[in-house]
Amino acid sequence: MTSDLARSLDLYTRLFGFTLHYTRPGFAYLSLGRVQWMLEQAEPDKAWQTGPLERPYGRGINFQIQAPDLGALHERLTAASYPLFQPLHTATYAEGDTLHTVRQLLVQDPDGYLLRFTD
CATH assignment of the domain containing 28: 3.10.180.10
Give 10-37 pLDDT, tens digit per residue. Answer: 999 999 999 999 999 999 999 999 999 9
Provide the domain limits for residue 73.
5-43+62-118
Q: Is 80 exceeded by the pLDDT of residue 50?
A: no
List, in sequence order, every beta strand (DSSP E) within 1-119.
19-24, 27-32, 35-40, 62-66, 86-95, 98-108, 114-118
Please choose, from the candidates 91, 102, 113, 97, the residue with its C-alpha nearest in 3D space to the C-alpha of residue 16: 113
On average, the pLDDT of the chain sits at: 93
Look up residue 1 and give its DSSP letter: -
> Is residue 50 a part of any domain in this protein?
no
pLDDT above 70 covers a percentage of the chain that reads 100
Q: Is 90 exceeded by the pLDDT of residue 78?
A: yes
Note the pTM of the prediction, 2 decimals: 0.88
> Is residue 54 a part of any domain in this protein?
no
> Is residue 12 a part of any domain in this protein?
yes
> Is residue 18 a part of any domain in this protein?
yes
> Is residue 53 a part of any domain in this protein?
no
